Structure 1
Amino acid sequence: MTTEAKVGAFVLGCFAILAFTIIYLLNVQMSGGKVPYKTYLRYAGGLEPGAPVLFGGITVGKVKTVHPASADPTKIEISLDVKEGTPLNEKSIAKLGIVSVMSGAALSITTGSNEAKRLPPGSDIPSREEASLDEIAGKMATVADNADGLITQARGELQGITGDAHALLANLNTMTGKPNQEKIQAVLDNVNGLLATEGPKIDRLTDQLNTLTEHADATIQNVNGTVADTREPLRKDLAELQVTLQQAKALLGDMQVVIRANDYKIDDTVENLRVATDNLDQLTDSLKQRPWSLIRIKQPKEREVPHQ
């Protein structure tokens, strides 16, 4: 074997080893460290096996299978594998998405909440349906139908508004026509004539008002001086009045103390007055019944009636 042949065989062997290594690493990367999950949608939107799985916009895996669910054929079961360590949680939502405008469909998963519990491998990811192109087209058709009716209605209302605008313009033209202009000019002429005639009187009134204002200023100055002169005596009087009120308050307090200290004496005096009043009433009754008791101690004997 020549040297060239040996070199060629060595180069081919190196390429073969390099290709094997690359393929092995790719297989390890694609097969190792993957965690399976499932989700269910009613509309797959052209999602196919091998489509990327996005978590918060980051590619974390691929769609494995897409087929109707065996338990409920009205739902599409989507199996997917994501990288180990992807923080899927109970608040994560799976929905249809796209990587770019020119690319195909993808499965997009929201990040959910950091406080939510992590989903174990093999569990179902909650899903949310997105509006399909057919639904969007149907809504647009409905909007278009409604728009036709609105346009027709608006056209009729615009015609009415146009007629009202024409009537308004006609009224404005009538109001600003030559007859009204002549009347306005006559009013302005009268005002100018009035100003020219009454101008001297207005000037005299203005002078009188100025004089009155000066007198009013002088009066206000006099009032201010009077207030300033009487302010200090008023303050002194108020201070003395306040002292007098405090003394009266103290006197009332002392009187209350004296009255409270002599309550029992007052009660005794009242009781004695009551007893004296009762005795006086009894004495009065006794005098009414026996007026002679004021002169004699004993009652006189009754006089005998003489016998015939």
Structure 2
Amino acid sequence: MEPKAHHVIIGLFTLIAVVAALFFALWLAKSSADREWVYYEIVFDHAVSGLSKGNPVLYSGIEVGDVLELKLGEDNPGHVRVLVRVEQSVPVRENTRAGLVLANITGSMSVQFSGGSTDSPVLEGSREHPTQITAEPSAFNSLLTNGEALLTKAETLLTSANRVLSEENTENLTAILRNAKDASDSLLDNRDKLVALLERMDDASKRAAEAAIKVSTVSDNANALLQNEGKSVLTSMSAAMKTVQQIGARLDQLTRDNEGALDSGLQGMGELAPALRELRNTLRNLNQFTRRLEEDPTGTIWGGPSIKEVSQ
């Protein structure tokens, strides 16, 4: 009789637990059904890997809804349209930003709203006509995109490195290193000559520096001479030019003032020309008479032939 009573108690307890669980599930379903939702369609212009139906929707890190549906854009398959529902008590405004965040280390993603000022109007939407929101690129998505680009560049770099380190290039590099080693050994063997050459170059540089100093000194002296003596010479030349100009001006004025007298003098010199010719003829005849007188004084004085004028 006692074992049968135990089975009855256990069965009764199991029945009560199942009924309680059923009532709790009904209450939970009723509570979820009684909750009021606002629906939004978020448009992503990039991949939404890790996001799936039923993933949570967060607002500043707090769960406020879930993802209902994902589909590709009808006009542009590169866009993804995600239908979400959010509790009506959560104010999603026009300037609220939407994006993706990493939910866990498995790569699952969640939709997250952030921002929104109190002066911006609240967005409303139903299941049939959800309000559309354009999502912003998330930091994680940018990291993935940049990571893919970085991996692509790394792969290209490795391919180029493999080409550079080919067997032919390796042999050429080995030959170059061998030649460099031979050259360094040769330089070490001629180290004394190199040291002597460097000392000569040092002496030459010192002499060049001394010559440059001397040239600079000569240049400074020439500059000083031009600035001091050259100025006095130029001043003297300027004064001489002024004197010459004054003399020229005076000669010009004197010529202008005595223009009539100079014309008269020139005319007088023109009238003297015939008289000078007559005087020249007379002197010639007198010279002939004197010569004849010396040769034959008697004949010349007492009856010699008369003196004839010599035509000019």
TM-score of the superposed pair, with normalisation by structure 1: 0.42
TM-score of the superposed pair, with normalisation by structure 2: 0.42
**If you compute each CA radius of gyration, which structure gives the higher value, 1 or 2?**
2
